[in-house]
Amino acid sequence: MALDSYLAAHNLALVPKQSSYRAIVTRSPVPKGSVIIKSPPLCSFPTSSVADSICNHCFNSQVSRLTPCATSSSSSSHSLMRCSRCKSAFYCSVQCQRKAWNLHHKWLCDGMVITDNTNGDYEMLRRVCLVIGGIAKKEYLTDYDVLYETFSGLMDHKSDYSQDILEYFNQVATVVLNDLSSIKNFNKSNLTTDDLVNYLCIFGCNNFTVHDNQIFSVGEGTYPVGSLFNHSCYPNAVVMYHGNVQIVKAIEDLSSNDEVMISYIDTANTKSTRQQLLTAKYYFDCKCIRCNGNIKDVDHLLAPASSTMPTALLLELSTRQRTLLSPLLPSLFIIPISIPPTLLQSLLSQPHTPLALLSQHLSDLLRNEQWDIAAGIGYRILAIYVLCYPRYHPMIGLHMYTMAKCFWNSTSDGRTAVEEAVKLSASARAVLEVSYKDCGEINWDVINAIDDLSRMASKELNT
């Protein structure tokens, strides 16, 4: 089978597993920071909010220097080309425009839909049907045979969907079949409404949100190979994107025969919220090392925010966090899973300030350029992140980078703040390097920006 040899070429294997049907395991040790597998989407499309600022084919951003799917690194693109016919599709290069044209745009250009969350199913289904139905020119799609074989074998959980949802899927399937039936030769594909309903069921529990280098959502994609990885609330791998190419990276050292696990949801949530999200969309009860209690959970710090914090308390908390947590920064990286006891003690003794509330305050403080208070609150958030994300998770690194910027911009603490900026940028780099290395120039730009900040701050310390 094409899939087995494809996985074997990446030192991976798909093995049966009772609790989750199948699982991906390593066939040799994989050091943290390694690319486990890179795979293209069967289909993908950008979200409406960014559709005019990223290439609708490869998701390369307007301002980036490298086009992931262009043949030469000199094909720089600082403004996107617009489809002159529909005026709603944008491309970074002629190559991308040609690929999109031959895969779907030729048939969808007239009825181009500006996609949003309500018609994402419709948009994805039309594209998948053009590919599977033999209309799209498959030579423009990388690894089609593997993608198709894998997609066809994915779990659809059809019996778990409610009658209402299946009826909605049936309506979408009917509209799409009707739309596509006017295309010459589409009827030869013999695709039925039932087939399309099955595809929609597969999308529901397998599709991915594509994100940029700041983990902001930029699109949706059907990634059959990535869909083979099971979920853990304390994953040993993360999903990165170079444009719309999906890259699974190890964030822990893996031994031979270890199961590779990613997370399907934001794991900075209480156990009950995580379980609800996973049951509602993926139809399973999570029994991962965190959910079964092998890692100390901190639900009281993750509860949803119900109110805002008075400014005086915010200030007090900010100052206290800096005093308590700044000296602990180095220890956050020494112990892989267990939490330094001093940190745990300081967190548990704090007033009840859930993460959502702190994050909300942090964004307000950043927006209002209140860097000093933001930095202190940032420490508190960092401590909570360290308790609920694996040590080398990009959320931790990106947050450290935000904090480094706060200290660098802060005016009140002089040299101490600059020292904090240096310390935090070094930590941010150490964490982000693991997931961002070998993921293309667009991701590496974040590391370059951290290095720039670190150089400026170190220079200031030495003058």
DSSP one-letter string for 292-328: TTSS---HHHHSPP-SPPPHHHHHHHHHHHHHHHGGG
Q: Which residue lies nearer to ligand SAM by CB, 231 or 249?
A: 231
Least distance from ligand SAM to the Cβ atom of residue 180, Å: 26
For residue 151, the minimal CB distance to ligand SAM (Å) is: 10
Among 206, 236, 402, 425, the residue binding ligand SAM under the rule CB under 6 A is: 206
The residue among 154 and 176 lying less far from ligand SAM, judged by its C-beta, is 154
Q: For residue 29, which of 258, 212, 239 has the smallest C-alpha distance?
A: 258
The interface mask with ligand SAM, positions 210-249, x = CB under 6 A, is -----------------xx-xx------------------
In this structure, what token pair is assigned to residue 386? 């360290």
Which residue from 125, 128, 155, 339 is in contact with ligand SAM, where contact means CB under 6 A? 155
**C-beta of 435: minimal distance to ligand SAM in Å?**
20
For ligand SAM, which is the closer residue by CB, 284 or 408?
Answer: 284
- How far apart are CB 212 and ligand SAM at their closest, in Å? 22
Q: Considering beta carbons, is residue 154 or 398 the nearer one to ligand SAM?
A: 154
The answer to whether the CB of 372 falls within 8 A of the CB of 403 is no
The strand ranges marked E within 196-342 are 208-211, 217-222, 230-231, 237-242, 245-250, 261-262
- Closer Cβ to ligand SAM, 76 or 209, answer by number: 209
CB of 195 to ligand SAM, least distance (A): 18
Q: Report whether 375 contacts 407 (CB < 8 A).
A: yes
Neighbours of 274 (CB within 10 A): 26
Cα–Cα distance for residue pair 299/354, rounded to 1 Å = 9
> How many CB atoms are closer than 10 A to CB 70?
19
151 binds ligand SAM (CB under 6 A): no
Candidates 37, 54, 205, 218; binder of ligand SAM (CB under 6 A) is 205
Q: Which two three-digit tokens encode residue 172?
A: 């979408």
Q: Pick out residues in 6-25 that bind ligand SAM (CB under 6 A).
A: 19-22
In this complex, which beta carbon is closest to ligand SAM, that of residue 25 or of residue 400?
25
Q: For ligand SAM, which is the closer residue by CB, 155 or 173?
A: 155
**By CB under 6 A, residue 283 contacts ligand SAM:** yes
Q: How far is C-alpha 307 from the geometric centre of its chain's CA atoms?
A: 29
CB of 337 to ligand SAM, least distance (A): 18
Give the one residue of 141, 286, 309, 421 binding ligand SAM; rule: CB under 6 A: 286
Query: CB 130 → ligand SAM: shortest distance, Å?
Result: 23
Smallest distance, ligand SAM to C-beta of residue 449, A: 33
Single residue of 50, 69, 136, 154 touching ligand SAM by CB under 6 A? 154
Contacts of 276 (CB under 8 A, 6+ apart): none
Pairing of strands 230-231, 261-262: parallel
Q: Tell me the β-bridge partners of 210.
A: 219
Q: How many CB atoms lie within 10 A of CB 9?
A: 9
| Beta carbon nearer to ligand SAM, 90 or 229 | 229
Q: Is 161 in the site for ligand SAM (CB under 6 A)?
A: no
In sequence order, the 6+-apart residues with CB closer than 8 A to the CB of 117 are none
Q: Which stretch binds ligand SAM (CB under 6 A): 282-290, 335-343, 367-375, 380-388?
A: 282-290
**Count of residues of this chain found to bind ligand SAM when the rule CB under 6 A is applied:** 18
Strand partners, 231: 262
CA–CA dist 37, 417 (Å, integer) = 40
Nearest CA-CA partner of 377 in 426, 454, 420, 325: 325
Minimum gap (Å) between residue 245 Cβ and ligand SAM: 18
Residue closer to ligand SAM (CB basis): 56 or 206: 206
140 contributes a contact to ligand SAM by CB under 6 A = no
Q: How many helices (H) and strands (E) does the chain have?
A: 16, 12
Q: Which one of 153-161, 320-328, 341-349, 455-463 is the stretch in contact with ligand SAM (CB under 6 A)?
A: 153-161
Coil, strand, or helix at residue 210?
strand
Closest CA to 34 of 44, 23, 42, 26: 26
We find the least distance from the C-beta atom of residue 249 to ligand SAM, in angstroms, to be: 18
Query: Smallest gap, in angstroms, from Cβ of residue 297 to ligand SAM?
Result: 16
**Smallest distance from the beta carbon of 210 to ligand SAM, in angstroms?**
15
Assigned token pair, 128? 């998948």
The amino acid at 60 = N
Burial classification of residue 213, based on how many CB atoms lie within 10 Å of its CB (0-12 exposed, 13-18 middle, 19 or more buried):
buried
Given the rule CB under 6 A, which residues bind ligand SAM?
19-22, 154-155, 157, 205-206, 227-228, 230-231, 282-284, 286, 288
